[in-house]
Amino acid sequence: MPKSGQSEINAATRLCAVLGSPVAHSASPAMHNAAFAALALNWRYLAFEVNPKNLRAAIEGAKAMNFAGLNLTVPHKLLALEMVDELDVSAKVWGAVNTINFQNGRAIGFNTDADGIATSLREDLKIKLRGARVLLLGAGGAGRTAALKLASEGVSELFLANRTFSKILELQNEIAKKFPAVYVGLNYPKDSKAKIDLVLNATSIGLKKNDGLPFDGNQFSQNQARAVYDMIYRPAETRLLAAAKKSGCKTANGLGMLLHQGAKAFEIWTGKSAPLDVMRRALGQNIYGH
Ligand code: ATR
């Protein structure tokens, strides 16, 4: 039996899916299926475990079977840059594809992650990015997108810290070329008295139960931060967020980012406004059980 509001699956059902590895814990199917049902669309969203070596075949297969669209998650976002027929400007600017729209037999690659980050920071922390001083922890895929997006939003100073130093050096060079007005500091800010408007965790530290803090306590103190955002949303409150709350910072986890990248993808596929409240509720239900 379909859930209330959900149409029967039939020969006219349009399909979307997320491709990833691992993908079993993805909350995207819950979020998008709730949105399709709320708008009474005869659409469904699935999740497929796809090994990177089969990514091209999976994208081609979805195109051949007239899927409406795809999301891509770890580890496919960079690989897909070479596998679509066309790159939307968002994928070119941010250098990664997390959304594909199939149109007239062509696969068009988009990036909705970058906008998702900025929208969530504004909505959940009520922060003004232009002119802000930011410390970004992590320079993997998510950290790189966040750094470029923050630079494009006109933050004044961006401090980058990462276990592997070469990645922040590379990122510093990239930002210097694309957004020369932004000061990029390598490692933690030297002046321990000056406040940092936003600390953004884009490392995977905090995902595991016994994880500590994602910054070096000898080089940076929690008290320097005004607001702290953790891209991790499972658990809902990492050690970083708990400590930040305790010291009186504004805090938010990465659920809003997941929501807004999904909402943007939904709008690209369907051409309709995303039902944000429905999608937020579905994510909460799926991830936290309430
Ligand atoms: P994502 O796509 O989520 O960004 P990723 O590209 O694997 O995933 O990036 C993970 C980030 O967490 C990186 O910044 C990584 O640091 P390295 O660039 O040095 O690998 C960071 N990270 C993961 N485990 C870590 C650990 N134990 N200590 C410090 N940093 C860690």
pLDDT in tens, 151-161: 999 999 999 99
Contact 65, 228 (CB under 8 A): no
List, chain by chain if needed, residues with CB within 6 Å of any ligand 1 atom.
74, 138-143, 162-164, 167, 202-205
Q: pLDDT at residue 9 above 60?
A: yes
> Three-state SS across 144-202?
HHHHHHHHHCCCCEEEEECCCHHHHHHHHHHHHHHCCCCEEEECCCCCCCCCECEEEEC
pLDDT reported for residue 192: 81
Tokens coding 212: 């500590």
> Strands 99-103 and 157-161, how do they pair?
unpaired
Atom of ligand 1 nearest to the CA of 167: 18
Q: pLDDT at residue 3 above 80?
A: no
pLDDT band at 11 (very low <50, low <70, confident <90, very high): very high
Give CA–CA dist 186/173, Å, rounded: 11
Atom of ligand 1 nearest to the CA of 164: 19
Contact 97, 81 (CB under 8 A): yes
Pocket test for ligand 1, best of 78, 149, 186, 204 (most atoms within 8 A of CB): 204
- When the pLDDT of each residue in the chain is averaged and rounded to a whole number, the result is 96
Pocket test for ligand 1, best of 111, 203, 219, 239 (most atoms within 8 A of CB): 203
- Name the residue with the closest Cα to ligand 1, atom 13: 140
pTM of the model: 0.95
Peptide bond into 52 cis (omega under 30): no
Mean pLDDT of 216-242: 96
Domain architecture of the chain: domains with CATH: 14-111+258-288 (3.40.50.10860), 114-253 (3.40.50.720)
Length of the chain in terms of residues written: 290
Q: How far, in Å, from the CA of 1 to the mean position of ligand 1?
A: 42
| 77 classed as catalytic | yes
Give CA–CA dist 162/132, Å, rounded: 20
Q: How far, in Å, from the CA of 202 to the mean position of ligand 1?
A: 8
Question: What is the percentage of the chain residues whose pLDDT exceeds 70?
Answer: 99
pLDDT reported for residue 275: 98
Q: How far, in Å, from the CA of 170 to the mean position of ligand 1?
A: 15
Q: How far, in Å, from the CA of 141 to the mean position of ligand 1?
A: 9
Q: pLDDT at residue 1 above 80?
A: no
CA 235 to chain centre: 16
- Name the residue with the closest Cα to ligand 1, atom 3: 142
Which of the residues 63, 77, 149, 264 is marked catalytic? 77
* pLDDT tens-place string over residues 118-143: 999 999 999 999 999 999 999 999 99
- Name the residue with the closest Cα to ligand 1, atom 5: 140
* pLDDT tens-place string over residues 86-109: 999 999 999 999 999 999 999 999
Quick one: CA torsion of 159, 163, 169, 171, rounded to 10 degrees? -70
Atom of ligand 1 nearest to the CA of 139: 14
Q: How far, in Å, from the CA of 24 to the mean position of ligand 1?
A: 21
Give CA–CA dist 84/78, Å, rounded: 11
